[in-house]
Amino acid sequence: MGIILKGKIKGEKATKIVRFGNVKSVGVGDTNYFIENFRGINGRIEQSRNAGFHIESMSLQLQLIDLWLRELIKERTGEQFTFGEKHLFGKIIEKSKQLLPPKLYDRIDAFNKGRIETIHNFIYGGTNYDKIENISKRNNSLHSEIFKFVVKEVSHKYEK
């Protein structure tokens, strides 16, 4: 039996637990590693950003954004993802374009373009670390915003 992905949304008065489908359908390999990594990823994002490791922070944040976009795509289109297949982040963003509000899509697209422009050009003198830090800080809650949107869009499917 597969592992069911769950998420918590904290409201002003209560915490809502949202169930999604089987994690294997979004491309998870080893479910034990997934559980361990998933439980700690938000803390790692915050720790790396606070320590000034913005490339690490953006990389971890990208992984959460990718996960939630895959979940949205799976729930809205039925597309399944398989562990080991190459799924480029830019392609995941493209597939989710029609499923997202335009402003949220634009923020994700800008985050990805800024990430590519800075990280991929850093060592070659195309940018400096201040620009990487700026992108990291400017997008520090983007993964949470995407999570909240996905919850609102697909949680009704699993509510009784």
Residue 117 CA to residue 101 CA, distance in Å, equals: 24
pLDDT in tens, 33-69: 888 888 899 999 999 999 999 999 999 999 999 999 9
Q: Which helix (H) or strand (E) holds 157?
A: none
Asked if residues 81 and 70 have their Cβ atoms less than 8 Å apart, the reply is: yes
Give the pLDDT band (50/70/90) at residue 92.
very high
Percent of the chain at pLDDT exceeding 70:
83
pLDDT in tens, 95-117: 999 999 999 999 999 999 999 99
